[in-house]
Amino acid sequence: MFMKLEGGHKLFFEKTKDFLLDLFFPKFCVGCGCEGEFVCSDCSLFLSEASFICPSCEKSSYLGERHLKCRKRGFPEGLVNLWDYEGVARKGIHQAKYDYYIAEILNDLMDRFFVRLGDNKSRISSFLNFLYQEDTVITFVSAYKVRASVKGFNQSEVIARNLGEKTKKEVVDLLKKTKKNVSQTNLNREERKENVKGVFKVKEGVDTPSRVVLVDDVWTSGATMRECCRVLKKSGVKEVWGFTLARKV
Ligand SMILES: [Zn+2]
Ligand SMILES: [Zn+2]
């Protein structure tokens, strides 16, 4: 018989459920399969740091800043991609889509990056300067319908919330996907650009911040992020930095 669970009961129920799931679905490394962590310390050595690129021309940019000569209206001012999308990073991001532990896997991948950086934050100093400005908020690429991840989460949102938690910055749900387009997976560069055109909108009734960190899981051609950026800027956002967990090499 079902009863409406309220307050404390509900919390107890949720906690028990999580406990049982943890018990029956232990954590295994996405790289080697050993039990304990999603990215074990051995496998983390094989994660390859992405070099930063200009979000406009995609050529090398040491701090991820857009080149002065690449100034184009509607394009992001900077871009940070943590890992090359290969090996453990690729496996983890792919597996997270179908795993009960979606958030934990994605968080582990991000944590490994910051652990490796240690106190040497100079590589991401430009990004951090931007992020820590008072009026910067974090947002994420929205999904049309919350995709079929086991927990019904949008990967980009999970990554954005983790970044927000780490940096104590506000995460705001600014974008809305208004159309269901075909998956970008099998499209070439030009087709990708066409495929995302007019697909995103800024939600009605939200205050437009002046600076935004836009989060997605993977940078492939940049088409999705550029389109989101264009829409954000059209609605009054002055500057945008992109942030993704990985970049396709
Ligand atoms: Zn491993
Ligand atoms: Zn450039």
Query: Looking at per-residue confidence, does 121 or 77 come out higher?
Result: 77
> Is 70 exceeded by the pLDDT of residue 5?
no
Q: Is residue 67 part of a domain?
A: yes
Structural domain containing residue 115: 12-247
pLDDT at 74: 83
Instruction: Provide the 8-state DSSP code for 82.
Output: E
The bound ligand whose nearest atom lies closest to the alpha carbon of 27 is 1
Q: Is residue 2 part of a domain?
A: no
Q: Is residue 227 part of a domain?
A: yes
40 CA distance to ligand 2 middle (Å): 36
- Using CA atoms, how far residue 61 sits from 76, 110, 225, in Å, is 13, 21, 18
96 CA distance to ligand 1 middle (Å): 15
Picking from 60, 59, 112, the residue whose alpha carbon sits closest to that of residue 245 is 112
State how beta strands 175-177 and 200-202 pair: antiparallel
Q: Each residue of 64-94: pLDDT tens digit?
A: 999 999 988 789 999 999 999 999 999 999 9
Q: Is residue 121 part of a domain?
A: yes
155 within 8 A of 103, measured Cβ to Cβ: no
Q: Is residue 7 part of a domain?
A: no
> Is 50 exceeded by the pLDDT of residue 1?
no
Q: Which residues surround ligand 2, an ion (CB under 5 A)?
A: 54, 56-57, 67, 70
The mean predicted confidence, pLDDT, of the chain is 89
Quote the CA–CA distance of 175 and 231 in Å, as a whole number. Answer: 9
The tokens for 18 are: 């999580």
Q: Is residue 147 part of a domain?
A: yes
40 CA distance to ligand 1 middle (Å): 4
50 CA distance to ligand 1 middle (Å): 20
CB atoms within 10 A of CB 100: 16
User: Per mean pLDDT, which range of 103-112, 183-192, 196-205 is the poorest?
Assistant: 183-192
The bound ligand whose nearest atom lies closest to the alpha carbon of 54 is 2
| Pairs from 59-62 (Cβ < 8 Å, separation ≥ 24) | 62/123
56 CA distance to ligand 2 middle (Å): 5
Q: Is residue 6 part of a domain?
A: no
Domain count, the chain: 1
Residues paired with residue 247 on neighbouring β-strands, in sequence order:
84, 219
190 CA distance to ligand 2 middle (Å): 19
89 CA distance to ligand 1 middle (Å): 12
pLDDT at 3: 43
91 CA distance to ligand 1 middle (Å): 11
The bound ligand whose nearest atom lies closest to the alpha carbon of 55 is 2
CB atoms within 10 A of CB 186: 8
pLDDT at 171: 97
Q: Each residue of 138-195: pLDDT tens digit?
A: 999 988 765 546 667 889 999 999 999 999 999 999 999 888 888 887 888 888 888 8
78 within 8 A of 229, measured Cβ to Cβ: no
Q: Is residue 1 part of a domain?
A: no
